[in-house]
Structure formats: C-alpha cells, structure tokens
Structure 1
C-alpha cells in the first residue's frame, strides 16, 4: 500500500512543479512560496481537524517538536530555493535536479539513521546523481 501513496506523492509533486511555474510568472518567488505555504497550512490543518487528529497534540514529546520544527525549516528553505530555481530555469531541468534529494536522502539515511544500504539503493542513488550531473551540464 505504501507504494500507492508514494506514486500519488510523485504525481502531485509533478503537478506542483507545473502549476508553480505557471503561477510564479511575474511574481516574486518568495511571495509565491509564502502564498503556497498558507494554502498548505490550511489544507493540512483542515484534514487534521476533519479527522479529529488534533487530539494527538498533547502526546508529542520535546524531541517530536524539535525535529518537526527543524523539518519545517528545511521544508521552507527547500521551497524558497525550488521556487527561485523554477522562476529562472526550465521546469524540465529544475524538477529532475530537485529529485537529487532522493539520492541525498539515501546517503543521509545511512549516515544519520544508520539504515542499511542495499546494492539496489546504492546503484539507484548513483544513477540519480549521474543523471543530475548530465542535466546540469
């Protein structure tokens, strides 16, 4: 079942790039990012409230809060740079280079989380890195 969610994530990430490129025409990329963040905030909290999941807030630990905040900062910075790249570059180049994050995540999952690195994952990461270099050059 996880792969269905992952495929849907990929689909919506793809649509995000296309719609963002159209939406940032003539708009400051930071302003566009801020508008996008508000929409995401409303959608996410709408889902949480509709499902009654806000009741889980008191159960969050200090560690949960710290790492969710750090993750939020990283997400915000990712969006700022992504929108700036979309504003000055082609979607067909920016979006694939942005997916270098997949290879970086594989490496960081091994280094930070201590996850095992399979041969398939290593080859996949190397191919993503090689593809990114080809796109940039």
Structure 2
C-alpha cells in the first residue's frame, strides 16, 4: 500500500486509465486525414521505440531462452490480440466519435470478467457481477445516439 492507502496496483491502474483516455482523444485528432491503419502503424512504432528505451534504461537483461515456451506462446498471442484491438480501435475512431468509441471499447472490462471466470476460474462476488452489469448498462447508454 502507498502512504495514501491505495495499493500500488490501483495507482498504476488509475494512471493506465488516464493515459487510455488521453490516447482516445489524441488518436481521434491524429487519425483525421489519414488511413486508420497508417495511424495504428505510427502509434505502434512510437510504443515500440518507447519500450526499447525503457528496457535499455532499466538495465535488465534479455535472455529469450530463459522464457518458457508457454510464456512465449501466450505473449505472442497477447501481442496479436493487442494488434488486432488497436487496428479495430483506430478504425472505430476514424468512423465514430471518441466519446462513444472509447466507452464501447471498455466493454473489454466486461469481457475480461467473463473470460476470467470462464477460462481462469476466477470468482467474483455478487457485488462484483453487479458492477459488471452496471458497466455494460453504462456503455449501452453512452453508445445510444
């Protein structure tokens, strides 16, 4: 826990949410006048270069052989899913308003809860499931024109 009483993961998750919000607004402006796939390529290149810089600055060593085949498989699949998500997200931003695209994209929160329960055996309380239902309802209300 931090001095303010928040767990470290909560702080990082809130920062992630803030940056995701900025991503939607900045990307909506950036995708104007260019193909969404080009915008995704530029964004991905920036992320890749940033991560290389962070990795080099960290001083960590990279030993691909020390990573299990299972980890490689699931990280590669995760990377493919991320790429597909980004391509779809930028296409949606190109076609629709950021104020509606971003919330619909956040249905991923609902899907993570469902997939976590179905595939990872994660258990959530009735209150947690109520939250999932409320998120779903909120997205639907935001998405309706």
**TM-score using structure 1 length:** 0.95
Alignment of 1:54-133 (within 5 A): 54-133=61-140
Aligned-residue offset at 1:56: 4.5
Aligned-residue offset at 1:6: 0.4
Q: Which of 4, 9, 16 does residue 2 from structure 1 map onto?
A: 9
- Runs of 4+ more than 6 Å apart: none
Aligned partners of 1:112 and 1:45: how far apart in 2? 32
Number of residue pairs matched?
137
Greater helix content:
1
Q: Is the 8 Å Cα contact of residues 30 and 84 (structure 1) preserved in structure 2?
A: yes
Unaligned runs of 5+ in 1: none
RMSD (Å), alpha carbons: 1.1
SS in 2 for 1:84: helix
1:8-37 CA-to-partner distances (Å, cap 9, x unmatched) read 000000000010011011010001001111
Unaligned runs of 5+ in 2: 1-7
Aligned partners of 2:15 and 2:83: how far apart in 1? 21
1:48 aligns to 2:55 (yes or no) = yes
Worse-matched range after superposition: 49-58 or 100-109: 49-58
